[in-house]
Structure 1
Amino acid sequence: MNLVSPLIVGIIYCLLMSLIREPHRRRFNAIMVGGAGAAYLSGGGFGPWELPFVALTAYVAYRGLDSWTFIGIGWLLHTAWDTAHHLKGNPILPFAHDSSLSCAICDPVIALWCFRGGRSLIATIRRWFRPNHTADHVHDHASAPS
């Protein structure tokens, strides 16, 4: 399994989510983490224990409607569940043996972004490449004759 691919998937997820304006971005991500909490229901790897996990992530997702921190917590809960399913040999995608491990690598990337407030990565990248006109403007006035 390639360990870099899940990291890239997490970054791409955050970039795509950056296309959604706030507060819709936070609400949409709360729904996404709630759905992720139910991802293992059809496989039932932990039997009836799947249900309390879904209830917990539903609560965390609900709290995430107003809190990026709760969304981040939800992704970390899903990371733990992914890890447990991987160790048990019950992957999220039955046809892909390492799919739960990949998910457990991807999800903390998303959680970190959430803990940092789910800010637009696109806007951040644009700021990195935007020329600093203020410094040039000050320099031009200093050299101009009075």
Structure 2
Amino acid sequence: MAILAPILIGLVYVLLSSLIPDRHRRRFNAVLVGGAGAAYLSGGALGPWEVAFCAVLTYVAFRGLDSWTFIGLGWLLHTGWDIVHHLKGQPILPFAHDSSFGCAICDPVIAIWCFTGGRPVWAWRRVDAPPPGVPG
């Protein structure tokens, strides 16, 4: 369940994000990945590295305003930060010991969707839909 639940959370995120109109979906996801960069700031387990990571992810999120690839990269960077925090023992949710572990599983699910262009999931089933990466 510790692995299945985060995967399901990632899939639910993708499904709900697919409901956002195309013209807003990428920007919404860029803002969210930027916010994820600040998720560990209050814990301060890694000292000034927390601020440095936040700055890096802010830049990646800014580039994500125009690029799904940068948003996917941001989620993968956050995955790495989740792993560091899980190993260091400073979870993203202080009351849930394995929350960083779960986040490290959930984030790549979202990243994969971003690398495919963040298209609505129901568009993948349409026969006449262009393949991922091809403007439709």
Q: TM-score, normalised by structure 1?
A: 0.84
One-letter amino acid matched to 1:8: L
* Displacement of 1:2: 1.9
Matches within 5 A, 1:9-20: 9-20=9-20
Unpaired runs of 5+ residues, structure 2, are: 128-136
One-letter amino acid matched to 2:49: W
Secondary structure at the aligned position of 1:114 is classed as helix
* 2:75 counterpart residue number: 75
* Displacement of 1:45: 1.0
One-letter amino acid matched to 1:28: F
In the aligned structure 1, how far is the partner of 2:69 from the partner of 2:3?
Answer: 26
**1:54-104, CA deviations, whole angstroms, 9 ceiling, x for partnerless residues?**
000000000000000000000000000000000000000001000000000
Unpaired runs of 5+ residues, structure 1, are: 129-146
One-letter amino acid matched to 1:58: T
- The structure whose Rg is larger is 1
Matches within 5 A, 1:54-69: 54-69=54-69
- Bigger Cα displacement from structure 2, 10-19 vs 114-123: 114-123
Identity over aligned pairs, percent: 69
* 2:103 counterpart residue number: 103
In the aligned structure 1, how far is the partner of 2:23 from the partner of 2:108?
Answer: 22
One-letter amino acid matched to 2:90: N
Secondary structure at the aligned position of 1:73 is classed as helix
* Displacement of 1:9: 0.4
One-letter amino acid matched to 1:107: D
* Displacement of 1:17: 0.1
Choose between structure 1 and 2: higher helix proportion: 1
In the aligned structure 2, how far is the partner of 1:64 from the partner of 1:45?
Answer: 27
In the aligned structure 1, how far is the partner of 2:45 from the partner of 2:9?
Answer: 25
Q: Which runs of 4+ in 1 moved over 4 A?
A: none
Q: How many residues align?
A: 127
In the aligned structure 2, how far is the partner of 1:84 from the partner of 1:33?
Answer: 18
Secondary structure at the aligned position of 1:94 is classed as coil
In the aligned structure 2, how far is the partner of 1:124 from the partner of 1:115?
Answer: 14
CA RMSD of superposed structures (Å)? 1.1
* Displacement of 1:122: 2.9
**1:12-52, CA deviations, whole angstroms, 9 ceiling, x for partnerless residues?**
00000000111200000000000000000001110111001
